[in-house]
Structure 1
Amino acid sequence: MNSCCFICVFAVLINKVCLQVTVEAVIGGSVVLPCSSTQHDHKLQDIDLSWRHNGSIIVVDIIPHRTSPMTQDPKYKNRTETFPEEYLRGNFSIKLNNLQHTDAGQYICYILHSSQYQTVELIINDSVSTEQGNQGETDHEGMGPSLPLLLVCIILLVLLISVIVFIVVFLRKKVLNQLRGSHS
């Protein structure tokens, strides 16, 4: 029983750590910060979501059933776009426009009703690279975990596989010993 719990903890760690993506964009450009829920049967009254920059700055709160105005840090006023037509499908991505150096950093998308969160690291470059195209917008292709994060995920995965192999070998020996004991 304890080994199963250990495997579950590793699986959760791998899942949580690997949810971070890195997105690159340029000064003055726009970028879509991805966030989606694993649930796809959302009701408007259940949607309650917050985007935060560097832990505490309110980028935008998405609460479609509330009639009061959105809370938002003044530096994001008129620079964020949401996609309400996507909410019921579990897509809570946002678009940041007119990017500035101060926009770089970590963005966290908290999906409150399901206790999920996703992390996006935004890197701001001074000029457009050939991979980003002329608009300075990122596309969803090629977005994945950053290299250090990928290494952490690989290490955790190797540890998880090692634990599973150890458990299988241990259980196999135990069963073989029991079989030998019953034949004596």
Structure 2
Amino acid sequence: MPLIVGVGARSTVHADNLDTLIGATLAAYGLDPARVTALATVDRRATGPALVEVAARRGWPLLGYPAEELAGEPVPHPSPLVRSVVGTPSVAEAAALHAVRDTGAEPVLLVGKHTDGTATVAVAAPAGETDTYRHQDAGADRRGEPQHDADRRGDRRRGADQHSTTRHGTDQHSEETV
């Protein structure tokens, strides 16, 4: 069963930045990059040089979905800005969920959107398979749940965290990059 990384990105994103964001996000949540089976995004970004390069570097297929299909995915962090620009309230979260759903499985959002300002990533997996994707003890509490800001706030919903760290080191909620 797949572990899918969803990506929303500006057209100016650089492959090294995107690759670093993906790697850091997976590591922060104790998710094994070897379990990732695809990178998913909106179709208009699926031919972008940075996404194509990162998918090739990591050996992952790059899946692109029409905005209309992504708009049908229920997501925890919809963005009116992304909806107005792209035609879907989410790219990263919706693409990750939609790609898992395309396998015939019910998806679970493991990691809500995280951004560096030029790209946004989210991670989804099939329901019932989520614990098999984590590294042993990496960033997990006693139940195997990833620890992050949402957990410390008492918000236990999967994918509830959508924080990012900017160049200035401040923690802030982010709009998904478009």
TM superposition score category, shorter chain reference: under 0.3
Q: Pick 1 or 2: higher relative contact order, CA cutoff 8 A, min separation 6.
A: 1
Greater percentage in helix: 1
Question: Based on CA coordinates, which of the two structures has the bigger radius of gyration?
Answer: 1
